Amino acid sequence: NLNTDNGHLRTAGNQGQRSWQQWIRKYKYWLIISVIVVVGIIIGFAFLIYYVTQAVDLDNNPDNEERNSTEPPDAGGALIWQNCSGIRLNISTDEVSWGDANGNCTKYGGQLIDKSQINKECIKLDEDFWIMRENNQSDECESYNMNHPNLTLKCDTQRRYICSKS
């Protein structure tokens, strides 16, 4: 029989619903993989957009009250301000010697953070930071590293630093 039920001539592309079912069965695995890839791309874009908007929101964060201060943003490098247990922390992004770090903190009304003020919940970076010296007679300066609590370095070593203001 060369005719379909509705009177059309039967051809390979004219088999009605049966052709779709056969095509889906034939390419089922490719369809599943394609759907997974498309969903993955959509989720990837969603996360990308989320993280980009989070980075932008950092500038509008009310906790960054120091952004409106009279201190210039390049005071010893761009600064990351955060409040922690009533202490305002200023974590530098530039690496300088201990003397320059101490001078930058003092110049803008702060001081290098005292070891007793360090809250590990606020400073979770695995880096060395200059902190206040307990012994001014030593040739070495103290630094803070969350994984090496009693670290001292030559004072002219270049490191980031943490200033504090109460």
122-166 pLDDT, tens digit per residue, is: 777 778 888 888 777 777 888 888 888 778 888 888 998 888 887
pTM of the model: 0.50
* The CATH classification of domain 65-165, taken from the options 3.50.50.60, 3.90.800.10, 3.10.100.10, 3.90.105.10: 3.10.100.10
What is the pLDDT, as a whole number, of residue 79?
Answer: 54
Please report where in the chains the tokens 């592309």 appear, as a residue: 13
d(CA 24, CA 21): 5
Low-confidence ranges of the chain (pLDDT < 50): 56-76, 78
DSSP H or E segment with residue 16: none
Report how far Cα 44 is from the mean position of its chain's Cα atoms: 17
What is the pLDDT, as a whole number, of residue 52?
Answer: 78
Q: Is 99 left (phi over 0), alpha (psi -120 to 50) or beta?
A: alpha
What is the pLDDT, as a whole number, of residue 68?
Answer: 41
What is the pLDDT, as a whole number, of residue 21?
Answer: 79
Angle of CA points 133, 63, 105, to nearest 5° = 25
What is the pLDDT, as a whole number, of residue 140?
Answer: 86
What is the pLDDT, as a whole number, of residue 80?
Answer: 60
What is the pLDDT, as a whole number, of residue 73?
Answer: 41
**Dihedrals φ, ψ of 57, to 5°?**
-65, -20
With b for 16 or more beta-carbon neighbours within 10 A and e for fewer, the 70-79 pattern comes to ebeeebbbeb
